[in-house]
A and B are shown apart, each in its own frame.
Chain A
């Protein structure tokens, strides 16, 4: 933690002499990365420890695509982002400067991202989190994951669990806090992901929030319990069941036209389940990565999904040691 203490002393110097500009900048060029996600395993309303309900989700990480943010500190105040429309990322950068005690400093923030926008890949959150990490790196600080998550929510009002990398957690995405740490790692999965043909890109934050009834809220509680069990026991089948039921509930709120077709295909292939982006167009079919011929079966499944007319079909892994056949 020597970095932090160095920073603290730098901070004090800085706050005293901010207008005289005599202090040496503690900032260097900083780089941060954050990966995408492929929607959620589970999304709904859950009880916090204090007994109150809050919205939460279990994100499905997609590590093959990422956002790369670079923060170039300079003598001007304010954050200038490139592309210029990444205002949430810029806000996140400013909040991070404030958090590390360097409010009022500024610089250029460049974002290079391979993540498609508007389908539920979490492109916006990845930009925000990469930017937070870039600024923190620039100040020589390693932020706690919970801090990154909180700053992300402060910058864009709702986030996802990408601040926690590929850790399995139930995350309150509008409050930026963890509801439950499932611990360990996700069970090994192969996924065939694609986009629901019917849907257009979605502006996540402009969507009305789903209103859940008492039955659904009860079911979310049980699904949370089953997710806990599935992760603890490394059981992809149980996790697939959680995802399928959560996706079925999502159908009542943001229906995907191809959902039933996809369920049939998944069943016919003996898949573990089907997950969706609850505020996006993505659908994924989950396969047990440890099953015999898993990669071959994923490839077959991908072909069938393509021939059913679904777009953007790709296979990816989660916590699996499998070589994919694309």
Chain B
């Protein structure tokens, strides 16, 4: 193992922060290093990725950053396919500094043009069949990688009753929760999403809170594992992120704020339960926005105080960016819930 690889293994290790006596947070600098490293390791071991080979992935977020760090350290070429509307200049510069080729596909509709990105990616794979495509959305290794987090959690806290985490690909929550539930079958899994993400049955629309949610449905989202779903708007997420920094010295990204909001609420409701909340990345990327008072002042509805509890929905529907809603999912499939919403399927 080279020193760079060793370093990246340490980099993917979270620090644990106690937010309340029964609530601990796994605070990552860059959580996506966990699945990225696991998938690259597996691809190397199986021969899918050869020495000095080529990796391609469609991403506009931190998975791209993680895989770019690995690719550079291990000598692979990397192409990241994103949409012109999604990639921010600062991230793009960082990726290019790491030697990644960033392909920003035109996105006239501003919806991320997932179809156009996949077409480009498929074409590249056809032209260069040796290229390795990690497929973080659908590759089960994304979930399996989180045995590492589940290991660290039980080493530190033993018995766990509830895990709270954001859902984008489903890898971190369904992976970590899946392993923890093998140990503790009564474990509650609480998913955190945002309004107008389609993952848990909302109609797709413009989303202000990025880094969680999705406009397509990855295979790694395992609905039947989820007990409760919360949709957190951008503003409560920002307010909670500020709270984490102020009260705990945790300078985290806004999705961590959303997860902490839900985790803290659950922990207050269930003082006997031991709860872990997953916080995926730090706040530095958001210092010009989420942590910038001038930028915040332009937001409709800002300032907002940290809400104490969500609005319970009886029917899944989108809400304002100032809102926080919750729906009891009860470990059902997406189809069962959607059918139930139309009165076609009895609730459990």
Contacts and interface: CB of A to CB of B under 8 A. Distances in A.
A214 B144 contact: yes
A222 B141 contact: no
B54 to A, nearest CB: 23
Given A51-B41, A225-B152, A218 B158 contact: no
B144 A222 contact: no
A222, A224, A233, A238 — most chain B CB neighbours (10 Å)? A222
B182 interface: yes
B183 A221 contact: no
17 contacts: A217-B147, A218-B146, A218-B179, A219-B147, A221-B148, A222-B150, A222-B179, A222-B182, A222-B183, A225-B152, A225-B154, A225-B155, A226-B155, A226-B158, A228-B155, A229-B156, A229-B157
Interface string B169-189: 000000000011011000000
B158 A235 contact: yes
A221 B151 CA distance: 6
Given A51-B9, A219-B147, 9 more contacts: A217-B144, A218-B147, A218-B179, A219-B179, A221-B151, A222-B151, A222-B154, A222-B183, A229-B155
A219 B182 contact: yes
Contacts, number: 57
B140 A222 contact: no
A228 B154 CA distance: 9
A222 B182 CA distance: 9
A222 B1 contact: no
Nearest to A226: B154
A245 B150 CA distance: 15
A214, A230, A233, A235 — most chain B CB neighbours (10 Å)? A214
B74 interface: no
Query: Interface residues of B toward A: which range?
Result: 20 to 34
Nearest to A232: B155
A50 interface: yes
Given A214-B140, A215-B144, A245 B182 contact: yes
Q: What are the 7 A-B residue pairs with the smallest beta carbon separation, nearest first?
A: A218-B147, A225-B151, A225-B155, A221-B147, A226-B154, A222-B150, A225-B154
A254 B159 CA distance: 29
B158 A229 contact: yes
A33 interface: no
Interface of A: 50-51, 214-215, 217-219, 221-226, 228-230, 233, 235, 238, 241, 245
A214 B1 contact: no
A235 B155 CA distance: 13
B281 to A, nearest CB: 23
B182 A238 contact: no
Interface in B193-209: none
Contacts of A218: 144, 146-147, 150, 179
Nearest to A244: B183
Contacts of B158: 226, 229-230, 233, 235, 238
A245 B5 CA distance: 32
B150 A225 contact: yes
A245 B144 contact: no
Nearest to A229: B158
A92 B337 CA distance: 64
B151 A50 contact: no
Contacts of A50: 1
Nearest to B9: A51
Nearest to B143: A218
A51 B1 contact: yes
Contacts of A223: 183
A231 B73 CA distance: 37
B149 to A, nearest CB: 9
Interface in B2-45: 5, 9, 41
Contacts of B155: 225-226, 228-229
Contacts of A229: 154-158
A245 B183 contact: yes
A221 B150 CA distance: 9
Contact of A226 (B1, B140, B183): B183
B40 to A, nearest CB: 12
B141 A214 contact: yes
A218 B154 CA distance: 13
B152 to A, nearest CB: 7
A238 B144 contact: no
A3 B205 CA distance: 79
A44 to B, nearest CB: 12
A111 B150 CA distance: 46
A224 B151 contact: yes
Nearest to B180: A222
Nearest to B175: A218
Nearest to B182: A219
B41, B140, B152, B183 — most chain A CB neighbours (10 Å)? B183
A205 B52 CA distance: 41
Contacts of B150: 218, 221-222, 225
Nearest to A242: B183
Contacts of B152: 225
Contacts of B144: 214-215, 217-218
A272 to B, nearest CB: 13
A233 B154 CA distance: 12
B148, B150, B154 — most chain A CB neighbours (10 Å)? B154
A105 B1 CA distance: 42
Nearest to A237: B159
A228 B146 CA distance: 18
B276 to A, nearest CB: 13
Nearest to B148: A221
Nearest to A225: B151
A222 B178 CA distance: 11
A275 B172 CA distance: 30
A3 to B, nearest CB: 39
A51, A217, A233, A245 — most chain B CB neighbours (10 Å)? A51
Interface string B119-162: 00000000000000000000011001011101111111111000
A95 B9 CA distance: 39
A218 B159 CA distance: 18
Contacts of B148: 221
